[in-house]
């Protein structure tokens, strides 16, 4: 059980009344494989949206929208309740301030930087992602209002409810997935920051201040098969020679054409393929 009685150990909300009782910062971590968008109505009747990138870095929702607007939004509650149908895992994990800070303290220790610097880098990555998609089509929110209330600007009177329909969660509409863009941006930011530090101190660049290639490759390999555009992006932005070599090899595999002997044959049951190759069964 969390120290807060409205959350359990997984960050699931147990008591909504208590959760919204005290005005404070609201922190969430995106557990979804793509960016997560919440659209909701403001008190003036206008709509706004919050985009949470596909990154393990938690974000402060109240740095983007006021606590009261979050509290009054039906869609925010739906977003906090949303789960993956196959795994039953929530898409968003609610975090307390001590958990939020502990995450960045651990991140800062790994990168040998201050906690505030780790938070700054994460926010820069989020803003950079927003800039890359600003000119593109707006991502779909998780829900949309299909029947508003009878009041001004669609407001609901007592006893009325808005009808909402679910949209699909944002998928890989762009050529390069969000997690890859953000990962590569963070790598580039590590390099820029270390170059600035070295120039200011008059010392050589310390590779230990740049996230290691092993960590980058480990995260990339959790994403499944990358597309040609994604591999080219990694090869361009990956910094470490081993990361760029990995992307190059993956590109070569992507372009390989199987020989006639290796090409799949329709209705082949496997044993027939072995016999055609003259291999022992």
Residues 23 and 87 in one domain: yes
Is pLDDT of 274 > 60?
A: no
Domains held by the chain: number:
2
Q: What's the confidence (pLDDT) of residue 27?
A: 93
Residues 64 and 147 in one domain: yes
Residues 89 and 182 in one domain: no
SS3 63: helix
Q: What's the confidence (pLDDT) of residue 139?
A: 45
Residues 56 and 110 in one domain: yes
Rounded to the nearest angstrom, the gap between the alpha carbon of residue 201 and the centroid of all alpha carbons in its chain is 35
Percent of the chain topping pLDDT 90: 12
SS3 15: coil
Instruction: Name, in order, each residue with C-beta under 8 angstroms of 241's C-beta and a sequence gap of 6 or more.
Output: none
Q: What's the confidence (pLDDT) of residue 104?
A: 92
Residues 36 and 139 in one domain: yes
- Mean pLDDT confidence for 25-33: 87
Residues 57 and 119 in one domain: yes
Residues 20 and 154 in one domain: yes
Read off φ and ψ for residue 13, nearest 5 degrees. Answer: -80, 125
User: In this predicted model, what pLDDT tens digit does every residue of 197-237 receive, in sequence order?
Assistant: 888 888 888 888 888 888 889 888 888 888 888 899 899 88
List the Cα angle 65/8/102 in 5-degree steps.
65
Confidence of residue 151 (pLDDT cuts 50, 70, 90): very low
Q: Which domain holds residue 203?
A: 178-255
Please indicate, yes or no, if residue 82 is contained in any of the structural domains. Answer: yes
Residues 124 and 156 in one domain: yes
Residues 145 and 207 in one domain: no
Please indicate, yes or no, if residue 1 is contained in any of the structural domains. Answer: no
Residues 37 and 121 in one domain: yes
Q: Which carries the bigger pLDDT value, residue 249 or residue 273?
A: 249
Is pLDDT of 54 > 80?
A: no
- Mean pLDDT confidence for 110-117: 87
User: In this predicted model, what pLDDT tens digit does every residue of 258-271 receive, in sequence order?
Assistant: 555 555 555 555 55
Please indicate, yes or no, if residue 270 is contained in any of the structural domains. Answer: no
Please indicate, yes or no, if residue 11 is contained in any of the structural domains. Answer: no
Closest CA to 180 of 120, 121, 225: 225
Q: What is the mean pLDDT of the chain?
A: 75
Please indicate, yes or no, if residue 268 is contained in any of the structural domains. Answer: no
Q: Return the percent helix, strand and coil in the chain, to nearest 5.
A: 45, 10, 40
Q: Are 98 and 31 a contacting pair, CB within 8 Å?
A: no
Q: What's the confidence (pLDDT) of residue 124?
A: 82
Please indicate, yes or no, if residue 275 is contained in any of the structural domains. Answer: no
Read off φ and ψ for residue 68, nearest 5 degrees. Answer: -65, -40
Q: Which carries the bigger pLDDT value, residue 168 or residue 40?
A: 40
Q: Which of 138, 166, 194 is the last residue of a domain?
A: 166
Structure tokens, 134: 């600003």
Q: What's the confidence (pLDDT) of residue 215?
A: 86
Please indicate, yes or no, if residue 102 is contained in any of the structural domains. Answer: yes
Q: Which carries the bigger pLDDT value, residue 69 or residue 9?
A: 69
Residues 53 and 95 in one domain: yes
Q: What's the confidence (pLDDT) of residue 272?
A: 53
Q: What's the confidence (pLDDT) of residue 23?
A: 93
Is pLDDT of 7 > 70?
A: yes
Please indicate, yes or no, if residue 140 is contained in any of the structural domains. Answer: yes
Place of tokens 């949470």: 52
Residues 135 and 184 in one domain: no
Give the H or E element holding residue 52: strand 47-52
Read off φ and ψ for residue 73, nearest 5 degrees. Answer: -85, 130
pTM of the model: 0.50
Q: Is 183 exposed, middle or buried (0-12, 13-18, 19+ CB in 10 A)?
A: buried
User: In this predicted model, what pLDDT tens digit does every residue of 152-200 receive, in sequence order?
Assistant: 444 444 444 444 444 444 333 346 787 788 788 888 888 888 888 888 8
Q: What's the confidence (pLDDT) of residue 36?
A: 80
CB atoms closer than 10 angstroms to residue 246: 20
Closest CA to 233 of 185, 274, 269: 185
């Amino acid at each position: 059980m969390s120290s807060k009685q409205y959350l359990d150990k997984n960050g699931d909300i147990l008591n909504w009344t208590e959760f919204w009782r005290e005005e404070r910062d609201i922190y969430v971590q995106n557990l979804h494989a793509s960016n997560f968008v919440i659209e909701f109505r403001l008190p003036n009747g206008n709509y706004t949206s919050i985009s949470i990138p596909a990154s393990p870095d938690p974000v402060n929702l109240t740095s983007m929208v006021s606590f009261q607007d979050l509290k009054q939004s039906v869609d925010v509650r739906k977003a906090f309740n949303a789960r993956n149908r196959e795994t039953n895992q929530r898409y968003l994990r609610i975090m307390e301030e001590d958990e939020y800070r502990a995450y960045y303290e651990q991140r800062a220790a790994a990168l040998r930087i201050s906690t505030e610097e780790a938070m700054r880098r994460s926010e820069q990555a989020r803003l950079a992602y927003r800039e890359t998609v600003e000119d593109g089509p707006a991502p779909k929110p998780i829900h949309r209002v299909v029947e508003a209330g009878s009041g001004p600007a669609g407001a609901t009177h007592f006893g009325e409810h808005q009808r909402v329909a679910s949209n699909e969660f944002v998928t890989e509409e762009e050529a390069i997935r969000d997690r890859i863009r953000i990962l590569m941006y963070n790598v580039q930011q590590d390099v820029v920051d270390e170059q600035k530090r070295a120039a200011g101190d008059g010392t050589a660049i310390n590779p230990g201040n740049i996230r290691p290639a092993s960590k980058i490759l480990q995260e990339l390999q959790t994403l499944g098969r990358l597309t040609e555009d994604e591999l080219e992006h990694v090869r361009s932005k990956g910094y470490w020679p081993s990361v760029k070599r990995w992307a190059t090899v993956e590109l070569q595999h992507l372009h390989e054409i199987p020989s006639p002997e290796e090409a799949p044959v329709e209705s082949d049951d496997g044993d027939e393929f072995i016999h055609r190759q003259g291999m022992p069964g």
